[in-house]
Amino acid sequence: MSIFIAKRLLTLIATLIGASMVIFLVMEILPGDPALVILGVEATDEMVAALTKELGLDRPAPERYWTWISGLLQGEMGTSYAYKVPVWELVEGALWITIPLAIMSIILSIILALIIGLYAAAHHNKAGDVALMGFSQLGISVPNFWLALLLILLFSIQLRWFPAGGFPGWNEGFFVCIVALLLPAISLATVVGAILARITRSSVLEVYREDYVRTARSKGLSQRATLWLHVLRNALIPVLTVTGIQFSALLTGTVVVENVFHIPGLGSLVLKAINNRDTIVVENVVLLLATMVIMTNFVVDILYAVVDPRLKAHDI
């Protein structure tokens, strides 16, 4: 088990290094000079040159990359070009919105997936199954920003049950914040939940055909007991994999959905930073998002080994 974790940890570090390089390169290639954007169209060449030097942007790319990474290793994200404050100050507040939003969404989608997937599998090819799979197909096809707009129209504007957007801040109370995040979470969870529901259904149906399920029944276990004690755990293995993969899609989704709901999370922050050519903020936030995805997959890998004992034997 420890070898298993150590190996995964090494992969994790290698992936992070790779990701940081790609992010840095993309920002290098992206057109637009931060100094020019900050100073505006009336700036003289001398002023631009002076600011470029002040921001350290005149130094060669490898050096700047190293400054960024070595800073990160010491817990420093650098200073925002546009706001002249430490990047971490901008990121910290946003993080405490995006992470709860992502967690709420993934929990919602798993609950949705298990209820729908298990029900559909139990009513295989009957009306309930067909209807639910039809809905899930719809759920997968609907873009999350459009669903977000529909939800705002229905629940905020028509029914007035939820705020149409914005975020009160955690010091205004836990409950109001959760309420504010609920519609965004639903818009994010719908697609992922629909995908996971379909995987759950097909996985459960597949496991039902396994010989060991017949063995379980031959012991005298009821259908229901067999489902909970023998089918579910095996069926969850592919669901887990897809959950890990979908988590990155979900995080990408937050960028869009946060902007629709005017929620000051990482998604809003990164979009503003791109407009400002605040390269250093963009780089740090994107790397942070990448880290979250990689960490999730790391956790999924470990969960994998917990669910499936066969993996522990093959980890060397």
Partner 1 sequence: MTLLDVQDLTITLATAEGPARAVRDLSFSLERGETLGIVGESGCGKSMTALALMSLLPERSNTEGKILLESEDLLRFSEKDLCNIRGNRMAMIFQEPMTSLNPVHTIGHQVMEPLRLHKGLDKDAAHAEALRLLDRVGIPNPKARIRNYPHQLSGGQRQRVMIALALSCGPDILIADEPTTALDVTIQDQILELIQNLVSEDGMALILISHDLGVISENTDKVLVMYGGSAVETGRTDKIFGELTHPYTLGLFAAMPKLGMGRNARLATIPGVVPDLMNLPAGCTFFDRCPLASDHCRDASPPVHVLNPDHAVACHNIDDARGKKSEELYL
Nearer CB in complex with partner 1: 29/313: 313
Q: Is 125 in the site for partner 1 (CB under 8 A)?
A: no
**Contacts (CB under 8 A) with partner 1, residues 9-68:** none
**What is 106-119 written as a DSSP string?**
HHHHHHHHHHHHHH
Nearer CB in complex with partner 1: 64/230: 230
Q: What minimum distance in Å lies between the beta carbon of 131 and partner 1?
A: 21
d(CA 152, CA 147): 9
Would you state the structure tokens that stand for residue 89, as one six-digit string?
């100050």
d(CA 225, CA 61): 61
* Binding test (CB under 8 A) with partner 1, winner from 66, 70, 85, 222: 222
Q: What is the CA radius of gyration of the chain?
A: 24
What backbone phi and psi angles, to 5 degrees, belong to 86? -60, 135
Q: What minimum distance in Å lies between the beta carbon of 306 and partner 1?
A: 10
What backbone phi and psi angles, to 5 degrees, belong to 281? -70, -45
d(CA 273, CA 8): 33
**Contacts (CB under 8 A) with partner 1, residues 280-309:** 307-309
Nearer CB in complex with partner 1: 38/311: 311
**Contacts (CB under 8 A) with partner 1, residues 202-221:** 210-212, 214-221
Place of tokens 């939003």: 101
* Binding test (CB under 8 A) with partner 1, winner from 223, 262, 275, 295: 223
Site for partner 1 (CB under 8 A): how many residues?
22
* Binding test (CB under 8 A) with partner 1, winner from 40, 60, 127, 310: 310
Distance from the first to the final alpha carbon of the chain:
9
**Contact status, residue 35 vs residue 55, Cβ threshold 8 Å:** yes
Q: Is 313 in the site for partner 1 (CB under 8 A)?
A: yes
Q: Which residues bind partner 1 (CB under 8 A)?
A: 210-212, 214-223, 229-230, 233-234, 307-310, 313
